[in-house]
Amino acid sequence: MSEKQDKEVPTSFASLFGPAAAQINFDNMTQLCNTDTYTIEGVNYTRRLLKPKDLVAIFQLEKDLEKLKDKNGEVDPIKRLNNVKEQAKIYLKIEDGKNFDTEWENTDIVKMEIVIGACLLNSRGFRKV
C-alpha cells in the first residue's frame, strides 16, 4: 500500500472494504492477539492457556457451527450465539469471581465476538512469541 493509503481512515460505506480498512482491522486484531486481558462492559476477562482438550472442544464447536447451517447457508441466531458463548467459556476466564452466565446476558456481544476472533487467531498461531 502507498503511504497515503496507510493513513486513510474509511469515511464511507464503500471504503469500509478497501485496503485502508483491511489494514486497520489487521492492526486491531494484532493488538488484541498480543493482549492477555480484556475488559468488556466493565467485566475483566483473561485469556486462558489452552490445553489440548480445550482445542479439541473449540474445533468441535466450529464444526458444530457449520452443521447448524440450513440449506440457504443461514444459521439460527440463538444457536449461533450459544455456540459463541461456549467458545468464550473455553477461551476466557472471568475475573473478580463473577458468574460467566450472568455477565454474558449483559455483555456487548459485538466486542465479545471480536475478542473471541482474536482468541481463535491465537489458537491458530497468529501472535508474537
Give the model confidence (pLDDT) of 74-83 as tens digits.
888 889 999 9
The reported pLDDT for the residue numbered 4 is 46
Instruction: With respect to residue 9, please indicate whether it lies within any of the assigned structural domains.
Output: no
DSSP state of 49: P
Instruction: With respect to residue 34, please indicate whether it lies within any of the assigned structural domains.
Output: yes
The reported pLDDT for the residue numbered 8 is 61
Per-residue confidence band for 122, with pLDDT thresholds at 50, 70 and 90 = confident
HSE, CB side, 13 Å, CA atoms: give it for residue 14: 0
Instruction: With respect to residue 2, please indicate whether it lies within any of the assigned structural domains.
Output: no
Cell numbers found for residue 31: 493488538
Please state the domain count of the chain: 1
Instruction: With respect to residue 112, please indicate whether it lies within any of the assigned structural domains.
Output: yes
Instruction: With respect to residue 56, please indicate whether it lies within any of the assigned structural domains.
Output: yes
The answer to whether residue 126 scores a pLDDT higher than 80 is no
Angle at the Cα of 77 from the Cα atoms of 73 and 81, rounded to 5 degrees: 120
Residues 6+ apart with CB under 8 A from 108: 40, 41
Q: In the predicted model, what is the mean pLDDT of residues 9-25?
A: 74
The reported pLDDT for the residue numbered 1 is 40
Domain that holds residue 106: 15-123
Prediction pTM value:
0.78
Instruction: With respect to residue 129, please indicate whether it lies within any of the assigned structural domains.
Output: no
| Gap between the Cα atoms of 101 and 11, Å rounded | 37
